[in-house]
Amino acid sequence: MSETSNDKRKKTDASNTDAERAARYAALEAESPRISPSDYTTKSRRSFLTGGAAMAAGAFGFRWIQTRPESDRIPDVLRRGHEVNESVWRALKRDGVNAPTFPRSASSMVRVNGRRGLGEEIDLAAWEMRVEGPDGTLLGTHVMDEIRALPFHEMTIEHKCVEGWSHIVTWGGARFSDFAALYADELGGLPPYVSLNTPDEEYYVGVDIESMMHEQMYLAYELQGEPLTQDHGAPLRLASPNKYGIKLLKRIGTIRFTDERPTDFWFERGYDWYAEL
């Protein structure tokens, strides 16, 4: 009996070296139906997430990435295999499932990793976060007291970096969903994407609204029960176990709700846009 593509997909968690991921992907890519770039952009997210459409979209993404020039900044290990793995995982993932949490005692201080957009120290007392709508209009600004006024949550989760390490860490802060609720009416419902930037705009990420509204997506201001240090993103950063670290912007300066899929620092350098776990 021939192996169904479902059997193949189930095997995606059987082994995990990058070479194996790349090989699995090449096999999936070979059997995928071809779609054009315009198909890709007009697919609804729902169909994107299910079955063949997702595989086809992944295949397109993979071919696109192969045409990109190599960047010397990317640790080569996870480059293509990684992109591939993301697309496949995204297709398989069920909505609404939480990543595992751990007892607080299992967590410890995580290293500082990535300082793009963190340049000089900032005056935390003077920090304000801007919120913009799809047309770029300023909808509001927030000081930390307003973020602290939202319900406080804590989670002990595994933070994962695309460089291949992970660390169990305890984050404290507000759920992004509680924050976004402040703007939902004004926006007539939330648009499909969120773009986040450091104040100097040196680092920027784009995230789909479903991922942002997940209960494990935090606007974090505490790490290991202490206020964030500047190197870890003070006063406010993203934290989640469901996205790779590259998406978890430190030192948020601007949040923009948008209809267009926003550009993203590491997407521009060859990584999968979703960087989903």
Ligand X SMILES: Nc1nc2c(c(=O)[nH]1)N[C@H]1C(S)=C(S)[C@@H](COP(=O)(O)O)O[C@H]1N2
Q: Can you give the binding site for ligand X, defined by CB under 6 A? A: 110-118, 161, 198, 203, 232-233, 245-246, 248-251
Would you say 29 or 276 has its CB closer to ligand X?
A: 276
The candidate with the shortest Cα–Cα distance to 122, out of 238, 229, 244, is 229
The candidate with the shortest Cα–Cα distance to 215, out of 181, 168, 251, 264, is 181
Task: Tell me the closest approach of the beta carbon of residue 112 to ligand X, in angstroms.
Answer: 4
- Could you tell me how many residues of this chain bind Mo ion (CB under 5 A)? 2
Would you say 174 or 249 has its CB closer to ligand X?
A: 249
Would you say 68 or 115 has its CB closer to ligand X?
A: 115
Task: Tell me the closest approach of the beta carbon of residue 118 to ligand X, in angstroms.
Answer: 6
Beta bridge partners of residue 257, listed in sequence order: 194
Q: Are the CB atoms for 28 and 59 separated by under 8 Å?
A: yes
The residue range among 6-14, 71-79, 146-154, 160-168 that interacts with Mo ion, by the rule CB under 5 A, is: 160-168
Would you say 161 or 190 has its CB closer to Mo ion?
A: 161
Task: Tell me the closest approach of the beta carbon of residue 73 to ligand X, in angstroms.
Answer: 11
Task: Tell me the closest approach of the beta carbon of residue 252 to ligand X, in angstroms.
Answer: 8
Q: Which does 248 bind (CB under 5 to 8 A by kind): Mo ion, ligand X, none?
A: ligand X
Asked whether position 233 contacts Mo ion by CB under 5 A, the answer is no
Q: Which does 277 bind (CB under 5 to 8 A by kind): ligand X, Mo ion, none?
A: none
Task: Tell me the closest approach of the beta carbon of residue 199 to ligand X, in angstroms.
Answer: 10
Q: Which of 235, 245, 253, 270 binds Mo ion (CB under 5 A)?
A: 245
Q: How many Cβ atoms are within 10 Å of 80's Cβ, its own excluded? A: 17
Task: Tell me the closest approach of the beta carbon of residue 96 to ligand X, in angstroms.
Answer: 25
The secondary element (H helix, E strand) that includes residue 239 is strand 237-239
What is the torsion angle, in degrees rounded to the nearest 10, for the CA atoms of residue 181, residue 122, residue 204 and residue 271? -120
Q: Which does 111 bind (CB under 5 to 8 A by kind): ligand X, Mo ion, none?
A: ligand X
Q: Which of 161, 182, 190, 277 binds Mo ion (CB under 5 A)?
A: 161
Alpha-carbon distance of 82 to 152, in angstroms, equals: 34
| 3-class SS of residue 41 | helix
- Residue 118 is encoded by which pair of tokens? 């963190």
Q: How many Cβ atoms are within 10 Å of 96's Cβ, its own excluded? A: 8
- Residue 107 is encoded by which pair of tokens? 């967590």
The candidate with the shortest Cα–Cα distance to 204, out of 116, 111, 112, is 116
Task: Tell me the closest approach of the beta carbon of residue 232 to ligand X, in angstroms.
Answer: 4
Q: Are the CB atoms for 198 and 118 separated by under 8 Å?
A: yes
Alpha-carbon distance of 149 to 206, in angstroms, equals: 26
Binding site for Mo ion (CB under 5 A): 161, 245
